[in-house]
Structure 1
Amino acid sequence: MKLMSVVMLSLVSSVGVATFTAQAHSLEINRIHEMPNEFASFHSVAQNKREIAQALANEYLNMGDALQYQINEYQLSIDLDELAGISLSTQSNINQHNIQIKQLKGISSHQKNSEQSIIKLRLADESMLARLHAGEAPLFSYASGDEEEGNVEAFDTDGGIQYLDAYRLPTQPVFIVELDKAETMKEGIKAMNEVFDSADKEVVNLLLNQPFFVAPEPMSMTVIKNIKLKDIKESWISGPAEVYAIISGVSAASAELTPKIEVVELPYLDHAKKEYTPNQIIVQWDHYRWQAVDILLMESDDNMNYKVLATALLDVATQVLQLIPEAGTQSAAVITRLTNAIIQAMPDSWTTNEDDYLDVFYTILENQTYSEYHGASDNAKITLEPLVIQPRH
């Protein structure tokens, strides 16, 4: 998916802001060129999956009967640590790949059980069950990030390599080595929010210094009533999407202009052209200095380290805000520039099989209702409503 261009929505004609625009543009371009080097090693996530797929194809004569029993109409995927019939050496090799992938994803310190597998083996489609159970030898494949070129690499049980059409589901059974997206994204979002929260040290200090008895106040929120995506450009090998939102604004924790970025998981939003009605809180307004934020929708894929992503986004957002003259600056214009800097700072490689840009909603205001509201790229439609949660007295 190629990164869609985003039009600057707010223009301020002051000399100070014009100077900022030129400086920020230069900063963003430099940042784009720097980032691919930082993220170059993350393509080894695909290499890890490839080696696992090849090993399992070679092991199929040993594990085939057990795998056919474990995979059925009620369960099309299993964790690799539950896979029966494979040799101890292959299991040890898979465990090493599991550890390396966690490190590459930036979640190795977040799981309670560091040895728990985040790798699954999934039959590509239920339609393949009959041929699998009839004894047809399957192929073993993985999502590499090159699917946009039209080919999917797969290993057969005779040690050979075959290439499948990325957008046409095969009839031969195909097992896909993939990450447990739900678990990986849940732990990754924890890692990202830890990075963002560390930038709000003043909030932490303020809370610690407050007296124990503080009169509770109502909490102002915005909730998603319904949401729908037009398109999620995934091939059959990638499975359902995992979508999250980046909420960007200016922190309420500092007297200066500092970014406040939060990440919210949208775990239900896994298919295009389907309307979801989650009633999910998306913005907690007391975290933000002004009554406006932007909401950026992203699709999570494999080749991205959550900690490095969060650090990079926070860094570029901080640099952008430091270039803005605060006096007389319009809040909506600031937040728009902040979000555009985040989008523009993302390398092109993130829009292949890394985290895909889906759409952006600019200038979402507190206490406002947005009905069937279209994103800037017209790929997402959302209904947002205000919600005030009263304290318990």
Structure 2
Amino acid sequence: MYQPPARRTLPVLLAAALTVGLVTPAQAAPADPFAGASVATVTDTLAHRLAAELGKPAARSRVTSAVAAGSVDLAALPLGTRFAADVAAANHAVRAAKGLPDGAESLLRVRLADASMRAQAKREVPLVASAPSDDEATAVTAYDAAGGRVVLAGDRMPLRPVLVVEVDTARALPLGIEVLRQTLAAHQAKSALAGAALTGGYWATKVDAVRLSDDKEPWIKGDAEIYTVVSGFGLDGHPKVDIVQMPYLNKDGTTYYPNQLLVHFSAYKYNLADAVMMEDDGDTNYLQLAQAIAAALLTIADAGVYIPLVSAILDAMPSSWWTDDPDYVDSWYTLATTSSGRLNGAAANGWMDVSPYWVAPL
């Protein structure tokens, strides 16, 4: 015999409605496509998605017109809400992968691989690639508008126009240096900074000229962003580290004349300091680097004589930086207040012309 369904009471109906209202949004919320991804994975994925956008004539026209004038912020490209959401998610992932605090400022950009491609990019659909983490890559993977992979030689400029998706290291480096400074300061005794408040003058080492050798990077790599880790023993006898940004030093095989102060001896116990030059070509994790350096230097005690700290800093670097991604550039040992003339780097990748400089009080 047929039994009619039981009549639902108002409380039951309300409970069911609340259950649906609570569960549906959670089920519908999309997962973060870049969660936990490396910088290389993020930029490669964005390159693939940008290539698909270039299959639309209107979008292609907007992109090629924008990059014709130079590097463009990916977040500024008018390619619709979906692409904008991808770029926003990618930006958060890149900041996490580089050990940077989260923020709205975009750290991703796109540019033509070479300025000579401007006219060609307007006549045919460009390929899109991302800068590989391997500085000695023999092949570069690019994408066409249909989503297909195109393998390009890493040692010669391609015949087709190519757009490159990469991290804006000019924006990322100042943020990273601040992370380095804050993290290292937390591990350094406050007395190590006492020299900064001297009432008299002090000696410093000035970089009059600097040049790095050709490192044979593939064509897809952009300008390097260089910074130097200067280390010595603070006035309290504990290892002290300073970070010096060198934003002008962005091309190998070029001599620069910065007249920049590199070492300030007012904060050092001994008349000696070391310098380790580094580059951020997109994937440097600043927090990881700072923590590694701090952990290494904490094990070094003042023995009453100066001990070079370069080896401890180099040993603290992740092993990957010595294989596929050499973020280390060169190093200079035992810079003194009397250092003068041309000093070749220990890795033979560059040289600096330095001179003593007296910093007089106001």
Instruction: Determine the C-alpha separation between the residues in 1 that align with 2:37 and 2:60.
Output: 30
Instruction: Determine the C-alpha separation between the residues in 2 that align with 1:205 and 1:219.
Output: 14
Provide, for residues 202-235 of structure 1, a one-character-per-residue CA deviation record: whole Å limited to 9, x for no partner. 2389699xxxxx8821132211000111223421
Match of 1:17 in 2: none
The answer to whether the 8 Å contact 1:42/1:303 transfers is: no
The answer to whether the 8 Å contact 2:192/2:240 transfers is: no
- Alignment of 1:103 with 2:106, yes or no, is no
Relative to the length of structure 2, the TM-score reads: 0.84
Match of 1:70 in 2: 66
Structure 1 vs Structure 2 CA RMSD: 2.2
Map 1:1-393 → 2, pairs under 5 A: 44-62=38-56, 63-72=59-68, 75-84=69-78, 86-109=79-102, 114-134=103-123, 136-146=124-134, 148-203=136-191, 216-252=199-235, 254=236, 257-319=237-299, 321-322=300-301, 326=303, 329-331=304-306, 334-335=307-308, 338-352=309-323, 354=325, 356-366=327-337, 368-392=338-362
The answer to whether the 8 Å contact 1:119/1:180 transfers is: yes
Q: 1:352 to 1:233 in 2, by over 3 A?
A: farther
The answer to whether the 8 Å contact 1:222/1:282 transfers is: yes
Report the Cα offset of residue 390 of structure 1: 1.6
Aligned residues: 326
Query: Would you tell me which structure has more helix in proportion to its own residues?
Result: 1
SS at match of 1:238: coil
Instruction: Determine the C-alpha separation between the residues in 2 that align with 1:194 and 1:55.
Output: 36
Instruction: Determine the C-alpha separation between the residues in 2 that align with 1:316 and 1:242.
Output: 25
Relative to the length of structure 1, the TM-score reads: 0.78
Instruction: Determine the C-alpha separation between the residues in 2 that align with 1:149 and 1:69.
Output: 29
Instruction: Determine the C-alpha separation between the residues in 2 that align with 1:173 and 1:228.
Output: 31
Aligned AA for 1:173?
P
SS at match of 2:298: helix
Report the Cα offset of residue 330 of structure 1: 2.8
The answer to whether the 8 Å contact 2:280/2:327 transfers is: yes
Instruction: Determine the C-alpha separation between the residues in 1 that align with 2:258 and 2:140.
Output: 34
Identity %: 30
Instruction: Determine the C-alpha separation between the residues in 2 that align with 1:377 and 1:316.
Output: 21
Aligned AA for 2:60?
G
Structure 1 gaps, min length 5: 1-40, 209-213
Aligned AA for 1:250?
F
Q: 1:353 to 1:61 in 2, by over 3 A?
A: same
The answer to whether the 8 Å contact 1:232/1:241 transfers is: no
Q: 1:288 to 1:233 in 2, by over 3 A?
A: farther
Instruction: Determine the C-alpha separation between the residues in 2 that align with 1:215 and 1:94.
Output: 47
Instruction: Determine the C-alpha separation between the residues in 1 that align with 2:195 and 2:100.
Output: 28
The answer to whether the 8 Å contact 1:302/1:354 transfers is: no
